[in-house]
Amino acid sequence: MYLGIDLGTSGVKAILLSEEGRVVASHSEALTLSRPHPLWSEQNPADWWTATDRAVSALSKQHALQSVKAVGLTGQMHGATVLDAKHQVLRPAILWNDGRSFSQCGKLEADLPDSRQITGNLMMPGFTAPKLLWLRENEPDLFAKIDKVLLPKDYLRWLMTGVFASDMSDAAGTMWLDVAKRDWSDKMLSATGLTRKHMPELFEGNQITGQLLPELASRWGMDCVPVIAGGGDNAAGAVGVGLYKTGQAMLSLGTSGVYFAVSDGFLSNPQQAVHSFCHALPDTWHLMSVMLSAASCLDWAANLTGTASVGELITLAQKTQPADSPVWFLPYLSGERTPHNNPNAKGTLFGLTHQHGPADIARAVLEGVGFALADGMDVLHATGLKPHSITLIGGGARSPYWRQMLADISGKTLEYRTGGDVGPALGAARLAQIAMNAGKPLEQFLPELALEQVHEPDSVKHTAYAERRKVFRELYVRLEGLM
Ligand SMILES: Nc1ncnc2c1ncn2[C@@H]1O[C@H](COP(=O)(O)OP(=O)(O)O)[C@@H](O)[C@H]1O
Ligand SMILES: O=C(CO)[C@@H](O)[C@H](O)COP(=O)(O)O
């Protein structure tokens, strides 16, 4: 078997994949997020480790882990985890949805006019490099002590193997990688006062980076098996659902919302904040549009409306019909990346009257996230890449009602496959299986998951939603200055 570990924002998931490609067990442990100041978003790396240890220990009670041949790692991207020379964590990790480094982004682009050519991307807060510049300017004593900068899953790897290593897909999200060359860029590193010695060694997603340390192996009832590079959660999620060829795409409904498409060449649309990164398999790249708050808006709305769970919130929304006097929701609760690149963008409810109640708000939130996802799809398609199939993954994809609404809003056929909700952990386990079967054809280990439901867009509803989306977009344009 293969063990896949996904350090998500809302929790750590561990799954066991059988040699035949079946998920035989899984366990999740929740994580919380801290927002100590406006625009800040942090987690304590010690909590990541506690949750990981608990998740794997719980899995070992469901299923003996003695037959695990390799471990694959994946996780939330871009987080800055900084260690001192004794390899102690210096401060809470600054996460992917943290907007504090907006001015540092402008400074980096001004200092390095070719930064978009090297990285393929617009410099955005949330990416790792501008956060390190923020630390240099705002916490200089701490910055001076930094010996290593690690991405979240690579901090777990360090604790599991004693090795500093990363993979190309996650490293691409730092803005220190030359994405076309798949190597660290000395120029980008030096612009933030760092060198290669601060970075982990680079691997492709399906390469072995080290072995599980003996004390952990015995704690979890495993051998000292290889730990594989793995990938950022989106690239690994794509591998999990079998996406590695140009034209394959997915929509990931996690804390963030991501439209991800595989490309065999290096394309980009930095002006509209489309991300252009390496894929987790050699010689492949991908594009993605990222919205910072997607399914997390449902958690927020469930809390706001006093509904017990996201499932209940969706049931509430289902009781409403698209109204004559609708409510609109701008889902920018943590600012936004694609297409606005604006950490100061705000969540907004518009159109409320005495007639509206919690159900209308629930519906507006589901629709608003859908409109924002459709905006992201449009700007990705503007690169010329036109995917021929779109698979839904992530916790939000568990709702058939929301899945159909997203097909109606986007006007695209959306496919839901069994097991898509554990996508990244499954992808990490699949990368581990590929690594242990080097030389065999990839296709053998990347079967598409069984199709559970196909959501065809309803053309009448799509036309109505297209009208509503015009107002959604206009609202942002008019409110941007006030935000
Ligand atoms: N039944 C459900 N229907 C729709 N959304 C759900 C359901 N259950 C959980 N979710 C959503 O799934 C999200 C978590 O998805 P997940 O892919 O695990 O995120 P992450 O990788 O960011 O930790 C939560 O924000 C929650 O709103
Ligand atoms: O910032 C990005 C991608 O660029 C996010 O997608 C993070 O990688 C977090 O993912 P989830 O926890 O929402 O899966």
Pairing of strands 208-211, 226-232: antiparallel
CATH number, position 29: 3.30.420.40
Q: What is the ipTM of this complex?
A: 0.97
Expressed in angstroms and rounded, the spacing between residue 250 Cα and the centre of ligand 2 is: 14
The C-alpha atoms of residue 40 and residue 445 are separated, in whole angstroms, by 40
Residue of 12, 28, 96 to mutate, ligand 2, most atoms within 8 A of C-beta: 96
| Domains of the chain: total | 1
Task: Evaluate whether residue 257 is within a structural domain.
Answer: no
Task: Evaluate whether residue 428 is within a structural domain.
Answer: no
Q: Closest residue (by CA) to atom 13 of ligand 1?
A: 395
Helices 358-381, 295-305: inter-axial angle, 10-degree rounding:
170
Q: Considering only CA atoms, which of 230, 342, 327 is closest in space to residue 293?
A: 342
Domain that holds residue 52: 2-241
Reported in sequence order, the residue ranges of 8-107 that DSSP labels E, i.e. its strands, are 11-17, 23-30, 42-43, 70-75, 81-83, 93-94
Report, as an integer, the average pLDDT of 89-111.
97
Q: What is the share, in percent, of the chain residues with pLDDT greater than 90? A: 90
Is 123 marked as a binding-site residue? no
Single pTM value for the model: 0.94
pLDDT, tens digit, 9 for 90 and up, residues 441-477: 988 898 878 899 999 999 999 999 999 999 999 999 9
Task: Evaluate whether residue 222 is within a structural domain.
Answer: yes
Task: Evaluate whether residue 96 is within a structural domain.
Answer: yes
Task: Evaluate whether residue 74 is within a structural domain.
Answer: yes
pLDDT at 443: 86
The C-alpha atoms of residue 315 and residue 334 are separated, in whole angstroms, by 25
Show the ligand 1 pocket: residues with CB < 6 angstroms.
8-11, 254-255, 295-296, 298-299, 310-311, 314, 394-396, 398-399, 402
Band the pLDDT of 309: cuts 50, 70, 90: very high
Pick the ligand that lies closest to the CA of residue 126.
2
Task: Evaluate whether residue 134 is within a structural domain.
Answer: yes
Expressed in angstroms and rounded, the spacing between residue 299 Cα and the centre of ligand 1 is: 8
Q: What is the number of the ligand 2 atom nearest to the C-alpha of 424? A: 14
Q: Closest residue (by CA) to atom 26 of ligand 1?
A: 295
Question: Which residues are catalytically annotated?
Answer: 233
Task: Evaluate whether residue 144 is within a structural domain.
Answer: yes
Expressed in angstroms and rounded, the spacing between residue 286 Cα and the centre of ligand 2 is: 15
Is 78 marked as a binding-site residue? yes
pLDDT, tens digit, 9 for 90 and up, residues 330-343: 999 999 999 999 99
Task: Evaluate whether residue 98 is within a structural domain.
Answer: yes
Expressed in angstroms and rounded, the spacing between residue 236 Cα and the centre of ligand 1 is: 17
